[in-house]
Amino acid sequence: MMVLEVFLAVVVLAAAAVSLICAGFVLLAALDALVGHLSKAAVYFPNTMVVVPAHNESTVLGSTIEALVAQEYPAEALRVLVVDDASTDATAQVVGSAMSEHPGRVGLVRRHRGGEGKAAVLNAGLAKVLADDWAEAVLIIDADVIFEPQTLRRMTRHLADPQVGAVGGYVREGSRPGNSLSRFIGFEYVLAQALARRAANVLGVFACVPGGAQLHSRANLEALGGRIDDTTKAEDTVTTFLTQLGGRKVVFDAHAICWAEEPEYLEGLWKQRLRWARGNLQIVSKFRSLWFRRTTPIGRWSFGQVWFAVTLQPVLMVLNSVALTILFLVDFGLAGQMLSAFWILNALSWVVMAVFGLAVDPPTARRSWLQCLTFPGLISLALIAYTLVPGMALAVANAALGLFGAHLPASFTHWYVLFAALWTSGCMVLALAARAVDAPGGWRHWLSEALLYLGGYGPLLCAVGLAAYIDQFRGVERKWEVTVKTGRVKGGQAHGRPAGDYQPRPAIGP
């Protein structure tokens, strides 16, 4: 075998290895019950200040504040501070109304110059919070995140262990009634949070505590200099890294559930995810001296493998396509074999992730089972089916074509290999098309949804990742854009009730 062919085969296997690494990582989640942090948690109600950054959030902020003050938590140990980032809508009035309704429990800091990014807004709030010694813990959330009544105490219980610096909650997609996109996001969060963060509990090292629900001990924030790093677009990831580099633990509690409104259309999702993906590339550069060096948790080989498997996946998909296409031209037989290996390994990985995903979060599974099954895209699923059971797939295809008096040509296998080779990156082009045609309401949105199901949600995320690489290499500076929220999280209405009728005392500790 020629050197070129061996090299191309290795590229294909490397691309397949990415999905295997992700599936292997997900498998670790099952061990969370054995080695997770719940066994070290204890009932603990520290004085907690909730910092809520807000820019034009009047439609969602009222429900968010109501859900916070209604927490089943000692009322005098919980306060809410909204940091209004130069809003031009009724955000300040909404907070003012909450301040009147809950005197002494809700506060406001107004910034008159906005648009400097979330970290700058948070830092304005943290400066206020840490200026006096009341707060023993600080919860940072997004303005649209609705907490379930027991969520805060499910997070604070981990701070009973003084080694813990930060705790992440489980942010579920909460738009109701929602559409196909919100259901895809819902299932993505099962994979990225309910499973991946349980697995991170097991590994003992975290990539990111979600910016929408992160609880910090005061000691942790003070050790971080009392402020959030604002040099990247991924302030939550940097905070998570710095916490762990400072020797403090980060944990995730899958039972600490809150609900967030996610984008309803692909344009909004694209902007949000591009910001996240750009942030992750900046993290790679910012911590470049730590990767794969065992002196810190971040440098662990296992963590680096997972981080780079996810970060490099878009690039590897393109390289995979190029490698398979060249193989198709120089060695058709090997191209077919490598293609089969690629799809079989991907199918195996997907079976593991889908089964785990459906099992770990039944409510989301009931709502998003179709999006779980079609996550890779219908065309990719058809290619997988042909790879696994070619005879049956051909029979079905011929039967379908027979209805129109047609049948598959004799050269089908030849062209299948070429198509499948190109498809591993072509699926991203379909995702781009879905984004291009998407628009609120009407036939364009239906067409976009159809393209999304055909091309797949996973490839859409890969396309965003690829766009982030292109932006990063071109040095494109994008304005920090807030994701528009419209108050579609219905869970909040259930929690918009008065605080409990108990009269708690100030300090109930471990």
Partner 1 sequence: MDDQRATTSLVQPSAPERGPTPADVALVDQARQELCEDRRSEGRLWWLLGAAVAVATLVVALRYGWMW
| Residues lying near partner 1 in the complex (CB under 8 A) | 27, 29-34, 36, 38-39, 41-43, 45, 72, 74, 76, 79, 81, 99, 103-113, 124, 127-128, 132, 134, 150, 153-154, 157, 253-255, 340, 344, 348, 351-352, 355-356, 359-360, 388, 500-506, 508
What three-state secondary structure class fits 159?
A: helix
Closest contact distance (angstroms) between CB of 30 and partner 1 is 4
Nearest partner of 253 among 185, 336, 166, judged by Cα? 166
User: What span, in angstroms and rounded, lies between the C-alpha atoms of 431 and 465?
Assistant: 12
Is the Cβ of residue 477 or residue 501 nearer to partner 1 in the bound state? 501
User: What span, in angstroms and rounded, lies between the C-alpha atoms of 119 and 251?
Assistant: 22
Closest contact distance (angstroms) between CB of 393 and partner 1 is 13
Closest contact distance (angstroms) between CB of 3 and partner 1 is 26
Closest contact distance (angstroms) between CB of 98 and partner 1 is 11
Is the Cβ of residue 128 or residue 176 nearer to partner 1 in the bound state? 128
Is the Cβ of residue 254 or residue 379 nearer to partner 1 in the bound state? 254
Cis peptide preceding 177, ω within 30 of 0? yes
Is the Cβ of residue 253 or residue 438 nearer to partner 1 in the bound state? 253
Closest contact distance (angstroms) between CB of 113 and partner 1 is 5
Q: Where do the H-state alpha helices sit in 287-411?
A: 301-330, 332-360, 362-373, 378-388, 390-402
Is the Cβ of residue 30 or residue 373 nearer to partner 1 in the bound state? 30
Closest contact distance (angstroms) between CB of 362 and partner 1 is 10
Which tokens is 307 given?
Answer: 């981080």
**Residue whose token pair is 């099952």:** 30
Closest contact distance (angstroms) between CB of 35 and partner 1 is 11
Is the Cβ of residue 175 or residue 193 nearer to partner 1 in the bound state? 193
Q: Which residues, including other chains, have CB under 8 Å from residue 187's CB and lie 6 or more apart? A: 357, 364, 368, 371, 372, 375
Are the beta carbons of 223 and 165 closer than 8 angstroms? Answer: yes
Is the Cβ of residue 284 or residue 352 nearer to partner 1 in the bound state? 352
Q: Which H or E run contains 14?
A: helix 3-27
**Residue whose token pair is 């200099």:** 225
Q: Which H or E run contains 93?
A: helix 91-101
Relative to beta strand 78-85, strand 48-54 is: parallel
